[in-house]
């Protein structure tokens, strides 16, 4: 099936099976490896991307269903001059990633969260990211990174 997929501000002509998950198209067809394969059933969050600014588990959604919508990946968060997004910078500053496998999904979920609600309590951050799993136990640093990014974005 041929369709157009808008990713990180660019239109891409895709030819894939109708039920091919977005995650596979991003990684295999477009070479965008930020979103990770974790569980394959939408429960870990490693594959999180943004679709029209909202958090989306890319392993669950067929890419063909997203025609006309805007998909953003970790790679698309940077400014055109290469400047990292405030959430990306905060994750680096707080050394939020240990093995870092979950970090792309955490970053994308945090970006969506902060767009929806820029001022959050620690409890709200923890609750919102409850479905994004980190097996290394870096949650405290991840929460601090999101708090740092929220402060920067509020300026």
Show the domains of the chain with their CATH numbers: 2-73 (3.10.20.30), 86-154 (1.10.150.120)
Task: Read off the pLDDT of each residue in 132-143 and give the average, rounded to a whole number.
Answer: 87
Please list the residues that pair with 56 across neighbouring strands: 49
Q: What is the pLDDT of residue 98?
A: 83
3-state secondary structure of 3: strand
Q: What is the pLDDT of residue 79?
A: 93
Please list the residues that pair with 55 across neighbouring strands: 50
Backbone φ, ψ for residue 26 (5° rounding): -60, -50
What letters, b where the CB count within 10 A reaches 16 and e where it falls short, cover 25-47? bbbebbebebbbebeeebebbbb
| CA–CA dist 155, 22 (Å, integer) | 35
**What predicted TM-score, i.e. pTM, was given to this entire model?**
0.94
């Amino acid at each position: 099936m041929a369709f157009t997929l808008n990713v990180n501000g660019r239109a891409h002509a895709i030819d894939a099976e109708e039920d091919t998950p977005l995650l596979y198209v991003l990684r295999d067809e477009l070479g965008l490896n930020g979103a990770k394969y974790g569980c394959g059933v939408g429960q870990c969050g490693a594959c999180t991307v943004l679709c029209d600014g909202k958090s989306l588990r890319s392993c669950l959604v067929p890419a063909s269903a997203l025609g006309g919508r805007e998909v953003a990946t970790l790679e698309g968060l940077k400014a055109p001059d290469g400047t990292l997004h405030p959430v990306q910078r905060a994750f680096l500053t707080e050394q939020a990633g240990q093995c870092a496998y979950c970090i792309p999904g955490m970053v994308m979920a945090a970006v969506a969260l902060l767009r929806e609600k820029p001022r959050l309590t620690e409890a709200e951050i923890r609750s919102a990211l409850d479905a994004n799993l980190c097996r290394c136990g870096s949650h405290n640093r991840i929460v601090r990174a999101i708090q740092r990014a929220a402060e920067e974005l509020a300026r």
